A and B are shown apart, each in its own frame.
Chain A
Amino acid sequence: MRQLSRTSSGALVLTCAVMLSWGTPSAATAQNEVRPAPPRGADDGGGPYERLIIRGVNLIDGTGAPPTGPVDVVIEGNRIAEVRTVGYPGLPIDPARRPQGATREIDAHGQYLLPGFVDLHTHNSGAGDFAVRNPDTEYIYKLTLAHGITTVRDAGRGDLSERARSARNEIVAPRIFAYQRYGWDYDRPIRTPEDARQMVRHKAQQGVDGLKLGAEDPEIMEALIDEARRHGMGTMAHLAQGGVGRMNTLNAARLGLGTATHFYGLFESLLKDYRVQDWPMEVYNNNDEYHRFGQVGRLWDQIHPPGSQVWNDVIQEFVELGLTLDPTMTIYVANRDVMKHSNADWHHHYTRPELWDFFQPSRENHGSYWFNWTTHDEVAWRNFYRVWMQFINDFKNAGGRVTTGSDSGYIYQTYGFGYIGELELLQEAGLHPLEVIRAATLNGAETLHEPKGIPIEFGIIRPGLLADLVLVEENPLENFKVLYGTGAVRLNDETGEVERVGGVRYTIKDGIVYDARQLLAEVRDLVDAAWAQWPGSVERPALLDWPRAVAEGAGPAGGPVIPTERLFYWR
């Protein structure tokens, strides 16, 4: 999601209006700033260790290689030092063949180890209305880490101070790559290409990692992308309706854009009967978000269809130009089923009141356009997703790079949970689960490192790379739902009880081992405390936990029991 283009004074006005309607702004909102994350405490994460050994794990290395194990992974400090196969399934492991000298061990036999996930589209810092709904970053960071995300691309404000603090592990947070919005934190007017170049040079001097662009005027866009490239800065673009008439994804890719995020500009690159979207001119005002988002869904059949010459040509050209697609399907998925996402399992425990309030239908809150969201709207978006997914899958199969981004914090998507939703959606789009993991790890790392002209430092499990890892007790390739903080539902045949299994066990960032369950518990406490003080009009979402409700009752009755089997196809 992109913030609406607003002047800084405009943002201030909006924030004041929201605060007035609340009556009692918190300290953070009074300052109009997000509270930075508190210093990392002594109990927050263990390590880094001189020699940490993760024992006996099944390895999913991020390259697309299939799972393999038992493997011992040795980490020294913040680097992976060794990845050693130590035996065979079904046989005892010979201790003499295993690496020695651990100062800390994690018993991970039968569990799964993956590279830390890379979320290429997040908002975890900001001011104004962002601060109103996210009074502190601790909440965001902990949910992020608890879902295995060890690196984020902050695609808005790109806070350099938080980036530095995270790099020094002074805070509990993922690695941050700071991408800044065009014009953010820059007070000179940008009217000419040279103005734009100056702005980019200024940001380059500050050490900003990249630019978050909109659909700027062509000559400005060209200057921004070119200047960014000269300074080793990445570029990502949300090609919004306001400018897409001259700057669709194909136009931007030809100028050298790095990442196209969301769907904006993509469908517009494939339009069939017009060069602009066929907006209904009886009623359309781009600043009415119901109009804007309701009409996006209707794009699905305004384009050259899947498999057509134009469709295939555009894919081919994207691949040749080296464009990365970061679709963030998760952030719009409520558009095809808003009831589902407003009732998600996690809202009760994990969505803080300011954010929940923000999600409710509102003409002001970005992404809360449920003024009258109808069956038609959902059906249009279901069709839209079908076509969008096919494009993503065809692009991937043509050799294009697809990555994972969540943009959580809007449209009923809660941090961390929304990211796992993206993994599920990529599988729905046709990616093999191993391709999904590669999108989430290696592809993300490449996208971040490529503009800098340096090899990846994380993103796969290899000796020499940084120790950013996720350990999961269940097999995530079998079921990505096990990665949700609320877990996956499973019937326990031993006890007859319905359980929730999974959730990430440990997230290791830069050699520091975070207990994901503890992070989640801390978030629950934080959310409970926030609701306890919540003065607002919205009620806390209900605890929807039906399986637990039948946990009482006896186990299976006596008598012979037919064994149960889980099925799989050899395909």
Chain B
Amino acid sequence: MSSHLKFHMRSARSRQPGAGSTVALLLLTFMGAVGIQAQDGRTPDRGPNEGEGPFDRLIIRGALVIDGSGAPPSGPTDIVIEGNRIVEVRAVGYPGVPIDPSRRPGGATREIDAHGQFVLPGFIDLHVHAGGPSQKVPNPTYSYKLWLAHGVTTVRGVALGEGDLVWALEEKARSARNEIVAPRIYNCAKNPDRVAGWDDPDLMDPESARRWVRFVHDMGADCLKLGRYAAGMMDPPVMEAILDEARTLGLGSTAHLHQPGVARMNALDMARLGLVGTTHFYGLFESMYRENRVQPFPMGYNYQDEQHRFGQVGPQWRLIHEQGSDGWNALLDEFLERDFFLNPTLTIYEASRDVMRNRNADWMHEFALPSMLDFYQPGREAHGSYWFYWTTKDEVEWRNFYQRWMAFLNDYKNRGGKVTTGSDSGFIYNLYGFGYIRELELLQEAGFHPLEVIQAATLHASEELFHASGESPPFGLIRPGLLADLVIVEEDPLANFKILYGTGAVRLNDDTGDVERVSSIRYTIKDGIVYDSKQLLQDVRDMVEAQRMERLAAGGDR
């Protein structure tokens, strides 16, 4: 999502009466409701009761381990964590046989009884915007907690805030020190016009572009988010210079190849210039048109009209080489040869094939801030709210689009290509955390085995993050020596990803005859600190309720 053009206008969502004062009052309410100290959108410090640890020697006992590599579940296994590192992963017995206590690791200063439960590497969301500080998410603690509650222990901000790299780097450092309740943060630099101290917002010439790359690298950016974020950025000589400089510095890169630049810079062009991986679908379909070099937009098309923009994405399915054809295979082969990563974010556009589904999703009531709901509504100014008149035909075009897109991802995976998880939540009726779990479901729909989905969410995502630097990823698998980023789930997520939603999966309890919701993430462990997922969800519910009350007090209807 997040076109740079729209960011300038984001503040135009000022229809909400009294929005400014609402924010201040709201934050006061947060302090009361959640027991945190927050001022003007600053992420509150982690409170004394928020997360436990790290521990000298934490042992998770008797779990089934899904290690992220693609290996099948195996247990009973004891996992020993010292400080923020995994030090031992030991098989301690056999299913159906009592475990011999003498074979188990000892000396725990804290134990978690996880017999019959499942442990996975923490999930990695490679495409996030935290929202805050903004009107729709007044404080990013909201997004952070939703991510952690859904097992996400690492995010890549593209950009984390609304382009303010200084703020994003500060958030990264605070999270690294565990001063805030947040996943690990990696930051891509994006809009040059929003990087403090940078002097050339348009990036029109290659030398300036190289200078910009060095500038953000020196500031501490981990990667670049490329696209038409500056007037010249998608011009071939400029892009070539950017990617060349990034390669020299070991700086990561991802790209959203906007329609206004894609005619000269599609995903294949970018891969040839050394881009690490691309995100969304932009530029992908354009790399395999049969009979066009430029998308045959209907006359009257205006990119700045988001119904035009998104309504004309779906029909692209008719323009491409068919699955299995030479053109289709050639693109797959070249991506593979270049070790190219695909980070599709299927979840963020899903409403395009079924807007009612997403608008009415189970979690909207309890977990969407009223300010988020406002933002999602059809509006010409809010990015991703392009439901001016979304028809059966629009949805059908997008359903067909998804089929081809999914087939491409699955074929790429089956050739050995790496597909990774990202959510881009916060737009298009997609909510933080929930949208990420939906991505897991959608990858399964695309044809991935659930173990391949988990691999995309953990190992492959960590590999994308560290690809440019050449470092071995410090997390993404459950292995001795790696960082202790883990998710403990009460039931088997491979059998049903829906149990990972904060709102859970529906199940009939045959013992009681009651219909229940089973929400199974118990703990999310980030950097050796154990967070109670249920508590995080409760914190978010409290934030939502506080904003609702605040609005009622201000005379709104919600």
Binding site for B on A (CB under 8 A): 337-340, 343-345, 360-363, 370-376, 378-379, 382, 386, 423-424, 427-428, 433, 478-481, 488-491, 493, 498, 542, 544, 546-547, 549-550, 552-554, 562, 564-569
Contacts and interface: CB of A to CB of B under 8 A. Distances in A.
Interface in B353-391: 354-357, 359-362, 364-365, 370, 373-374, 376-380, 387-391
Interface stretch (B195-203, B260-268, B500-508): B500-508
A267 to B, nearest CB: 19
> Is chain A's interface secondary structure helix, strand, loop, or mixed overall?
loop
Q: Which of A345, A379, A382 has the most CB of B within 10 A?
A: A379
Q: Which of B311, B506, B558 has the most CB of A within 10 A?
A: B506
Q: How large is the interface on B (under 10, 10 to 19, 20 to 34, 35 or more residues)?
A: 35 or more
A11 to B, nearest CB: 21
22 contacts: A337-B354, A338-B506, A340-B357, A363-B508, A363-B510, A370-B506, A372-B506, A373-B505, A375-B440, A375-B441, A375-B498, A379-B445, A433-B393, A480-B391, A488-B389, A491-B379, A491-B380, A491-B387, A491-B388, A547-B377, A562-B304, A564-B305
Contacts of A568: 298
A184 to B, nearest CB: 30
B300 A339 contact: no
B444 A379 contact: yes
Given A339-B361, A345-B360, A542-B365, A549 B393 contact: no
B399 interface: yes
Contacts of B392: 423-424, 427, 433, 479-481
A458 to B, nearest CB: 25
B14 to A, nearest CB: 9
B360 A479 contact: no
Contacts of A478: 391, 393
Contact of A339 (B362, B365, B374): B362
> Is chain B's interface secondary structure helix, strand, loop, or mixed overall?
mixed
B505 A372 contact: yes
B359 A546 contact: yes
Contacts of B302: 562, 565
A133 to B, nearest CB: 17
A424 B356 CA distance: 13
Interface in B495-522: 495-498, 505-508, 510, 515
Nearest to B296: A569
A568 B301 CA distance: 10
A343 B362 contact: yes
A339 to B, nearest CB: 6
Contact of A491 (B315, B356, B378, B498): B378
B388 A567 contact: no
B348 to A, nearest CB: 17
B444 A362 contact: no
Contacts of B505: 372-374
Contacts of A564: 305, 380, 388
Contacts of B441: 375, 378-379
A562 B307 CA distance: 15
Given A370-B506, A379-B444, A567 B357 contact: no
Interface string B534-558: 0000000000000000000000111
A550 B368 CA distance: 14
Contacts, number: 155
A547 B360 contact: no
Nearest to B368: A546
Nearest to B363: A339
A427 B393 contact: yes
Given A479-B393, A490-B388, A554-B15, 7 more contacts: A340-B357, A363-B510, A374-B496, A480-B392, A550-B377, A562-B302, A564-B388
Interface in B389-442: 389-393, 395-396, 399, 403, 440-441
Contacts of B311: 567
A337 to B, nearest CB: 6
Contacts of B374: 549-550
B16 interface: yes
A340 B393 contact: no
Given A343-B361, A382-B445, A428-B396, A547 B378 contact: yes
Contacts of B301: 567
A181 B505 CA distance: 37
Contacts of A490: 378, 388-389
B16 A340 contact: no
Contacts of A549: 370, 373-374, 377, 557-558
A565 B364 CA distance: 31
Nearest to A361: B508
B555 to A, nearest CB: 10
B558 A370 contact: no
Contacts of A546: 359-360, 364, 373, 376-377
Contacts of B557: 549, 552
A360 B153 CA distance: 35
B312 interface: yes
Nearest to A21: B513
Given A343-B360, A375-B498, A491-B389, A567 B300 contact: yes
B373 A360 contact: no
A498 B377 contact: yes
Nearest to A360: B515
Nearest to B300: A565
A489 B390 contact: yes
B45 to A, nearest CB: 34
Interface in B274-310: 298, 300-302, 304-305, 307-308
B17 interface: yes
Contacts of B445: 378-379, 382
A76 to B, nearest CB: 35
A382 B379 CA distance: 31
B373 A481 contact: no
Contacts of A338: 506
A361 B515 contact: yes
